[in-house]
Structure 1
Amino acid sequence: MSAEKQSSAPLHGEKIPEEDPVAPIPHFPSEYKDDIKDELSKIELEVGSLEDEELEESIRLVPKVVRELVSMDDDPTLPVVTFRYFVLSTFFVVLGAVISQIAWFRTTAASYSMFFVQIVSYWLGNLMARVLPNKEINLGLFKFNLNPAPFSIKEHVLITLAASAGATSNLGEIIVSVKDIFYKEQMHPLAAICLMWATMWTGYSFAAIGRSFLLYDPDLIWPSALMQTALYRTLRSEGQSLDISRKQIRVFWVVLLGVFFWTFLPEYAFPFLSSLAVICWFAPHNDTVKFISSGFGGMGFLNFTLNWSNITSTIMVSPWWTQVITFSAFVVSVWILIPIVHFTGVWNGKQFPLMSNRLFLANGTLYPFQRLTTHDGHFDEKVFKELGNVYMSTYNLWGIFFGYATFLSAFVQIFLFGRKKIWTTLQHLRKKERHGFKDRLNVLMSEYEEVPLWWYILLFVCCFTAMIILIFTQDLYLPWWTYVIGVVLGGMTVVPMGFIYAVSAYQVSTGTWNELIYGYMAPGTHPVGSLVYRVVAGQCWYRAQSILQDQKIGHYMKINPRATFMSQLWGNLIGVPINYAVIRWVIDTKRPYLDGTQKDPLGQWSGQAPQSYLNQGIQYGLVGPTRLFQDTIYGPLRWGFLLGILAPVMIFLLHMKFPRAKFNLWHSTIFFSSMENFYGNVSTGPLSSFIGGFFCMYYFFRYKHSTWVKYNYLIGAAADTGLSLAILAIFIFFGSAKIIAMPNWWGNDPDSVEKCYGSGA
């Protein structure tokens, strides 16, 4: 439907009289008819003006950036769940489930981009609409039409939402894989699949907690959802002239192809471009200069990157204030604290490798964690006393410190700054109102049936029951009562953490806090038990966040909420069995590489993800924080709790004292969470990202806004898609059947691609 036609359409639910209501006036003398017609015409104009004013007011309630990118009209007659939808959603879910699950075990692999799904499903959907016959198929219990109408945008959106839900590796993979690889405990296939469904759908049920607070409020824009919405409308040339749409499509393809071919340089042929260590160019053989300038294992000071994989479309999605906070945290952590520790040795800074995330013995050698586990998976106190306590780099210590501050800060922050919004929503819920928002999008969506709360409750009850049965029958090594606590704490994090993501596109980490809690509740238990708790208390809320984001896309695109919900479940229903089949294939064929008994000559099947989770399970579940933190080196960490409480309070008081200074944007939770990030391996991206973010989200947003609206999200989506396709192509052509290494040359120096050699060269 064209923009011109949409603007003149009545509000959904209104009726236009088929006949002139003033034509038959049988009860008045003819001489008064003209006067009465004039008066009724005036009344009609006044009513029309009132309706126009209400429409304008409902549109004004939508934030400006959303009005510019989201259609304010709806066509409820468009087909939604069709034969085409089931065919294409199944295809993209299966493809993504295979690619994503393989990637989880590999050292490097291509990501499965939803932008890729958006683009290719658009082509295939239109192709099916052209070639399939308009034919009714009757299968007895149900019937459907192969090609009921042109391929609609609502079908298109639902296909991508199903892929987003089911075409990714799932949470239960951690438990299934670690048990099998390191303890040779293979779960029954049905139990493993039910475990993966239960952990994933627990996250879905958590979404019910946050939807009333996070989904309908127009001020919570969900920037990542806006980016996908912009791409949908661009592909279909909606809401603008044909010339502008054609230009946008050309720009999209130019950027996509440009990034695709460019990525072959920094990722394969010319890796020098990935990390431009400028200071090293003037003193390449100096150890201090190498430490300061290198982006690979160094501080990355004044280090730039020309590799989009180190930047990504985050700079085009996250608000400018969020990027300022995250870059400030990077500067404090990597450019200030690290050199202080490195050159002074404070907090045992010189005793353990600073830029390492490994765990060490007191003498600085790697800690042999495997020796701490008995043959039946329990903690070996005798070996622990023999080896001594576990130590880590100072860099990791302050990461834990700020991790403790992050979790408490999120709750204090939302109480101080978001309590009014939450209270208003609670009042509407108490009055049994659907929600109290009267903006244009909520008015349009009110015509569709909402997902009943009991659907979410039933889903949760099924998952909870399944998990309790699995805990008692499948050796998950988790005390059942800790699982209950994990569910409660996981549900509590949905609103505060989701609120932060909805306004900033920044995902706060909660892993450190959850591991600490479990370690105090059940020390000395099998590492798998710690991982089960982590999945439920921490990562299930991440799934709730992704589900809410997809539901926000459905809200922007005016999709029936029930169709969105069922589409997400459909994606999981297909994707999880595919995930399990891939897990079995990888473990059965690559086990010696994954468990470390053999070294993969290609260096790809390292299983670094399951190994990392195992280490954390041993550290917090097996050893436990009580033993871990008995050394004085861990003493300062407890002050992180106090910082997490006091920092947002101080910011709130400053905001109340100086309301125009925008202290409300000084988000302590985002800062603390950013301080948790480990940049010891790659620190070359933040500076380039900050510069790019300045132009995208500050300069163009403020001074070239019309250009920003047309191209910002579009270019970000195109660049990410080009990157994903290029990495996939590099993997297929140079790293799958036969490894083809890039010959060494000046731009691919085997000693240092950055030209940072140090004194050892």
Structure 2
Amino acid sequence: MRPVQENGEKWDEHGPFDGAPNVHESSIESSIPNGRTSDESGAPSQDVLLAAGIGLREDDPNLPCLTIRMWTIGTVFCLLGSGLNTLYTFRFPSISLSQSAVQFLAYPIGKACEYALPDWGIRLFGTRISLNPGPFNYKENILIYILANLSYMTRLSADVLTEQRFFYGLKAGWGFEIAITLATSIFGFALSGLFRALVVEPAGFIWPGVLGNTALSHALHFKDNGSIKGSKWSMSRYRFFMLAFCVSFCWYWFPDFIFPAMGYFTFICWAAPDNAVVNQVFGMKSGMGLLPFTFDWNQIAYIGSPLVVPTWTVLNVLASLIFWIWIVSPALYYTNTWNSAYLPFQSNSVFDNTGSTYNVTKVIDKGADFSFNITKYNQYSEIYMPVVYGLNTFGLCFATIASLFVWLFLEKRHSIMTIARASWFGGFWSKGNFHMRDPQPQYSATPTWWYGLVGLVAMVLGIFSCEYYPVQLRWYGAIFAFAISFVFFVPLAWVFATANIKVQIDILCRLIAGYVFEGKVLANIWFFDLGYISGIKGLAFAQDLKLGIYCNIPPKKLFIAQAVGILIGSLSQVAVVNWALNHIPDICTKKAANGFNCPFSRTHFNTSLIWGAVGPRRFFASDALYRPLLWFFLLGALLPIFVHVTRKRFFPNSKWFSKIHVPVFLGGLNYIPPASGTNYGSWAIVGLVFGLWIKSKQRDWWKRYNFVLSSALDCSVAIGGVLIFFAVYYSGAADKFSWWGTEVYQNTCDWKGCTYFSLPKGEKFGP
């Protein structure tokens, strides 16, 4: 296919940011003969791909990729990112150097290598390897990003390693820590490759999360100065990026340091700081966030940039926010359902019958492998959850899990079967009558058996870790956990690839482990690690595979980069965890200097004690307080059927009704808590402003700058946050900086977590 002109910009089916077909091939099965059309909510349009810099230039298969400078810069960023992010998981508040910032920072370093290094090289197997093979190109830059990206999936793994070693006192050694960390990452890597034909290669799976990266890559490496024909927007994408970056970087000093109240802009709560109801309604920390305004991009993009998310996703999430958080939750709360009115409206903590944070150590025998003591439990208190915590973390999670498979069967079964028959899966039952269009025909594909082999290696490492070391999880438990990750990967990837929403199944893993391995807390945390974290990492690997298609990275070279990144990131992570636990004084205690009190690991510790020791059976027994939440499984199974039948019978031609996405409606609020209605509300407002209003009123501007702006905001906030932390907070310069704008939002009921009902001193609620 030859490049075509579209508003003055070239569109090439095999451009450097390829993998997306032209507008006539935008369905998921566009590359399959006689394939069915995809859901319009998941199909990319030509405008979206052009706006993200995809397909604007022809590919050059001869561009060097795995160069010495790529490996050097990528390894440094991988070590730096893994080390920094792992270290600061021990700290509150935590900081991190984001992936988009790495992509941006790698560019000037790569260009410096281009100008400074000599063209010295040697020949190896017929190929010349040079220190400076020519101009620093976008493929090298993307591979650096992908290599470093693997180091940013460290927090959850670091949390469970710290949880076992510090809080449970089990020092299994470096061998276990390396083996279990590699098993988790490698299995996710294998899942991404095994299922790439189903959820990565089809054109309809746009993976919106990478559009900012492709736009940034195009802006940095192709500094076009031409304007769109007939448009007044003549500034190049590169100049626009730099301008937006500088403005955002300077602005971020205000909400992050100078005037933090701009980030927590709950001015109604400031006017009535002691009014519990006002703070519960309009509050941002423990309230429902009914006034979703903030001037902090970090708060707006808490769940991801709203500029890259499809409008139909934003509308589904907004509907979910309004219904579940602003209508259902207040109705439950103010009627004191589950005794919730004695607790904050929203919190990620669980409580006892006095309204205090639940002290799990009171019901655990530390000398007996942290086993549960029923006598102490009956003497102390049942566990109580805030209404939003119970409804969203459990009820809606149950409903989402049930809806995933029903929704896929009703809405996507034909798509799944068509793609499966055209992929390598079809080889098991078809005779090759269907063929998937290769998204990168100019390169040889990575053999699927490579991914199958590394998947087996991951399972061997996981089973060995559980059998050889005393972590309470047996071989069959490890296989069960891997099976859960395997079964859920395609449904989760299907949603993430089209909606950019990660549906959580962590509670499901906790519950299953709590029932199967009741009373075994270590088994609970490692079942969670192998069953949940491996799948989450797999989604990140799959997203990078899609980025590789868009940027025409040779698949085998991408495989090598990801494999090396796993090894470097895992070893670095384990080394930093051990160094921190051995060298930071009083780490993971309240006495720890510089805030290294391990908040995330402590939360995981409490969670594993609750679900591993106390057990879910006491939560959902026939007479248990929270048993009604199990009905959400039925709700999740029936709602897709209701929506499907209603649309088919009554609204077959409705544009808006076809946009209803049940799993996103049920699972789109998965970051609440700790996120709040303000985070989601402001995210939705910005998403609709850019995705609906600006896109329709200023379409040329949107096509040229929308995704570039998203990348500029993400990069500036990430780099600004790190600089502010080290220059101001870590150095102690901010210790004496205090005024009304740094304190007003903290002197409210919202910040303190006021309750609707108050208990007289010494009184208790519940049975």
Shorter chain as denominator, the TM-score bin is 0.7 to 0.9
* Contact map agreement 1:231 1:717 (CA 8 A) in 2: yes
Which range moved further: 292-301 or 358-367?
A: 358-367
Which range moved further: 182-191 or 532-541?
A: 182-191
**1:378 to partner: Cα distance:** 4.2
Q: Deviations over 1:697-717 (max 9, x none)?
A: 111223322211111110011
Structure 2, unmatched stretches of 5+, are 16-20, 31-43, 755-767
SS at match of 1:606: coil
Question: Is the counterpart of residue 366 in structure 1 residue 357 in structure 2?
Answer: yes
Which residue of structure 2 lines up, in the alignment, with residue 330 of structure 1? 321
**1:387 to partner: Cα distance:** 2.9
* Contact map agreement 2:585 2:593 (CA 8 A) in 1: no
SS at match of 2:129: strand
Alignment counterpart, residue 672 of structure 2, candidates 668, 678, 684? 678
* Letter matched to residue 637 of structure 1: L
Question: Is the counterpart of residue 690 in structure 1 residue 684 in structure 2?
Answer: yes
Which residue of structure 2 lines up, in the alignment, with residue 395 of structure 1? 388
Alignment counterpart, residue 297 of structure 1, candidates 280, 286, 289? 286
**1:464 to partner: Cα distance:** 1.0
Provide the C-alpha distance between the structure 2 equivalents of 1:449 and 1:276, rounded to a whole number of angstroms: 53
Question: Is the counterpart of residue 747 in structure 1 residue 747 in structure 2?
Answer: no
Provide the C-alpha distance between the structure 2 equivalents of 1:140 and 1:448, rounded to a whole number of angstroms: 19
Provide the C-alpha distance between the structure 1 equivalents of 2:585 and 2:611, rounded to a whole number of angstroms: 25
TM, length-normalised to structure 2: 0.86
Which residue of structure 2 lines up, in the alignment, with residue 40 of structure 1? none
Provide the C-alpha distance between the structure 1 equivalents of 2:284 and 2:10, rounded to a whole number of angstroms: 52
**1:184 to partner: Cα distance:** 2.2
Which residue of structure 2 lines up, in the alignment, with residue 26 of structure 1? none
Q: Which has the larger radius of gyration?
A: 1
* Contact map agreement 1:286 1:759 (CA 8 A) in 2: no
Which residue of structure 2 lines up, in the alignment, with residue 191 of structure 1? 176
Structure 1, unmatched stretches of 5+, are 13-53
Provide the C-alpha distance between the structure 2 equivalents of 1:324 and 1:423, rounded to a whole number of angstroms: 29
Matched ranges for 1:270-419 at <5 A: 270-280=259-269, 283-312=272-301, 314-371=305-362, 372-381=364-373, 382-399=375-392, 400-419=394-413
Count of residue pairs brought into register by the alignment: 711
Which residue of structure 2 lines up, in the alignment, with residue 517 of structure 1? 512
* Contact map agreement 2:351 2:384 (CA 8 A) in 1: yes
* Contact map agreement 1:2 1:239 (CA 8 A) in 2: no
Which range moved further: 720-729 or 64-73?
A: 64-73
Distance 1:245-1:564 versus aligned 2 partners, 3 A rule: farther
Q: Deviations over 1:81-120 (max 9, x none)?
A: 1111111111111111111111211112322222211122
Question: Is the counterpart of residue 269 in structure 1 residue 255 in structure 2?
Answer: no
* Letter matched to residue 473 of structure 1: Y
Matched ranges for 1:112-123 at <5 A: 112-123=97-108
* Contact map agreement 2:225 2:236 (CA 8 A) in 1: no
Provide the C-alpha distance between the structure 1 equivalents of 2:458 and 2:10, rounded to a whole number of angstroms: 46
**1:542 to partner: Cα distance:** 1.0
* Contact map agreement 1:285 1:759 (CA 8 A) in 2: no
Matched ranges for 1:89-488 at <5 A: 89-137=74-122, 144-169=129-154, 171-237=156-222, 241=226, 247-280=236-269, 283-312=272-301, 314-371=305-362, 372-381=364-373, 382-399=375-392, 400-429=394-423, 430=426, 431=430, 436-438=435-437, 442=438, 445-488=440-483
Distance 1:734-1:2 versus aligned 2 partners, 3 A rule: farther
Provide the C-alpha distance between the structure 1 equivalents of 2:9 and 2:607, rounded to a whole number of angstroms: 55
* Contact map agreement 1:248 1:710 (CA 8 A) in 2: yes
**1:172 to partner: Cα distance:** 3.4
Which residue of structure 2 lines up, in the alignment, with residue 549 of structure 1? 543
**1:539 to partner: Cα distance:** 1.7
Alignment counterpart, residue 640 of structure 1, candidates 632, 635, 656? 632
Which residue of structure 1 lines up, in the alignment, with residue 486 of structure 2? 491
Which residue of structure 2 lines up, in the alignment, with residue 63 of structure 1? 45
* Letter matched to residue 184 of structure 2: T
* Contact map agreement 1:406 1:669 (CA 8 A) in 2: yes
* Contact map agreement 1:519 1:624 (CA 8 A) in 2: yes
Distance 1:339-1:622 versus aligned 2 partners, 3 A rule: same
Which residue of structure 2 lines up, in the alignment, with residue 608 of structure 1? 599
* Contact map agreement 1:409 1:645 (CA 8 A) in 2: yes
**1:739 to partner: Cα distance:** 5.4
Higher normalized helix content (fraction of residues): 1
* Contact map agreement 2:347 2:673 (CA 8 A) in 1: no
Which residue of structure 1 lines up, in the alignment, with residue 40 of structure 2? none
TM, length-normalised to structure 1: 0.87
Distance 1:496-1:748 versus aligned 2 partners, 3 A rule: same
Q: Deviations over 1:458-514 (max 9, x none)?
A: 111111111111111221211221211111111011111101111111111111112
Q: Deviations over 1:681-710 (max 9, x none)?
A: 754333322221111111122332221111
Which residue of structure 1 lines up, in the alignment, with residue 646 of structure 2? 654
Distance 1:340-1:236 versus aligned 2 partners, 3 A rule: same
* Contact map agreement 2:321 2:669 (CA 8 A) in 1: yes
Matched ranges for 1:524-603 at <5 A: 524-525=519-520, 527-590=521-584, 592-594=586-588, 596=589, 598-600=590-592, 602=594
Which range moved further: 622-631 or 694-703?
A: 622-631
Provide the C-alpha distance between the structure 1 equivalents of 2:161 and 2:189, rounded to a whole number of angstroms: 20
Which residue of structure 1 lines up, in the alignment, with residue 762 of structure 2? none
Provide the C-alpha distance between the structure 2 equivalents of 1:680 and 1:300, rounded to a whole number of angstroms: 12
SS at match of 1:144: strand
SS at match of 1:592: coil
* Contact map agreement 2:503 2:667 (CA 8 A) in 1: yes
Alignment counterpart, residue 664 of structure 1, candidates 651, 658, 663? 658
Provide the C-alpha distance between the structure 1 equivalents of 2:174 and 2:409, rounded to a whole number of angstroms: 44
**1:316 to partner: Cα distance:** 0.2
**1:719 to partner: Cα distance:** 0.6
* Contact map agreement 1:101 1:582 (CA 8 A) in 2: yes
**1:758 to partner: Cα distance:** 10
Which range moved further: 277-286 or 354-363?
A: 277-286
* Contact map agreement 2:311 2:688 (CA 8 A) in 1: yes
SS at match of 2:286: coil
Q: Deviations over 1:317-340 (max 9, x none)?
A: 111121122122222333223432
Distance 1:468-1:751 versus aligned 2 partners, 3 A rule: closer
Provide the C-alpha distance between the structure 2 equivalents of 1:601 and 1:94, rounded to a whole number of angstroms: 24
Q: What is the alpha-carbon root mean square deviation over aligned residues? A: 3.1
SS at match of 2:547: helix
**1:201 to partner: Cα distance:** 0.6
Which residue of structure 2 lines up, in the alignment, with residue 728 of structure 1? 722
Which residue of structure 1 lines up, in the alignment, with residue 702 of structure 2? 708
Provide the C-alpha distance between the structure 2 equivalents of 1:8 and 1:259, rounded to a whole number of angstroms: 31
**1:549 to partner: Cα distance:** 0.6
SS at match of 1:391: coil
Which range moved further: 165-174 or 643-652?
A: 165-174
Provide the C-alpha distance between the structure 2 equivalents of 1:286 and 1:203, rounded to a whole number of angstroms: 48
Provide the C-alpha distance between the structure 2 equivalents of 1:10 and 1:347, rounded to a whole number of angstroms: 57
